[in-house]
Amino acid sequence: MQVDPQGTADPAPSADSVGVAFATVTAGSISLAECSRAVESDHAGAIVTFEGVVRNHDEGRGVTRLAYTSHPSAGAVIAEVAAEVAARHPTVRIAAAHRTGELGIGDVALACAVASAHRAEAFAACAELVDTIKDRVPIWKEQGFVDGSSEWVAALG
C-alpha cells in the first residue's frame, strides 16, 4: 500500500494498471479516445490527455497540409520513450500514438493518454511524455503552405 502525506492509504496499483498500454508510430488513423480507453482502470482517478492537431498556420504563414516521415527506428524509439517515462512515474499507465503520412488541417498527429491514481502524477508524466516524444522520436514533417511552397521541419525538439 501507498500512504499519502495525510495518512490515507491507496491500494497498490495492480500490474495491469501501470506501465505502457501501447506506444506506436503508424500511417493509420489515431484517436485520443483509443488512447484513453487503453489506460482506463479502476485504479485511475485521473486520465490526462494530449492531442496534437494539424493547425492552419505556422509563424504567420498559412499551412494547407503536413506530411510526416519517420525513420525505421521510430516505433522502437517511441516505445522506449514511453517505457522510460513510465519507469520515472511508476504509478502511471501510458498510451501514445504518432501519425505518419499526409495529414490535413484538423487531423490528429500525436495522441497521448496517461492515467494515474492522482492528477499531479498524470499531468507530470503526460507533459514529460509529449516533450520527450517530440525531442527524441525520429519523425520529420514537410509543411505545405498556401503559396504553394513547402519546407521540411524536424518534429524533433
Length of the chain: 157
pLDDT of residue 18: 75
Can you give the pTM of this predicted structure?
0.86
Q: What is the CATH number of domain 14-154?
A: 3.90.1170.40
Mean pLDDT of 81-86: 98
The answer to whether residue 10 scores a pLDDT higher than 70 is no
Does residue 17 surpass a pLDDT of 70? no
**Mean pLDDT throughout 43-51?**
96
Instruction: Please say if the pLDDT value at position 6 is more than 50.
Output: no
Task: Measure the CA–CA gap between 9 and 143, rounded to whole angstroms.
Answer: 50
Least reliable range by pLDDT among 3-7, 63-67, 82-86: 3-7
Nearest one of 50, 71, 54 to 136, comparing CA atoms: 71
151 φ, ψ (degrees, to nearest 5): -150, 150
Q: What is the rounded distance in angstroms from the CA atom of residue 150 to the CA atom of residue 33?
A: 32
Instruction: Summarize the confidence of residues 85-108 as an average pLDDT.
Output: 97
Q: What is the mean pLDDT of the chain?
A: 89
Per-residue pLDDT at 76 exceeds 70: yes
pLDDT-derived band at 11 (thresholds 50, 70, 90) equals very low
% of residues, the chain, pLDDT over 90: 85
Domain ranges of the chain: 14-154
Which set of grid coordinates corresponds to residue 16?
495491469
d(CA 20, CA 123): 16
Q: Are the C-beta atoms of 156 and 138 separated by less than 8 Å? A: yes
Interstrand relation of 93-99 and 19-26 (parallel, antiparallel or unpaired) = parallel
Q: Give the whole-angstrom CA distance, residue 93 versus residue 156.
A: 24
Of 62, 68, 145, residue with least CA distance to 100? 68
Neighbouring CB atoms inside 10 A of 104's CB total 11
Coil vs helix vs strand at 87 = helix
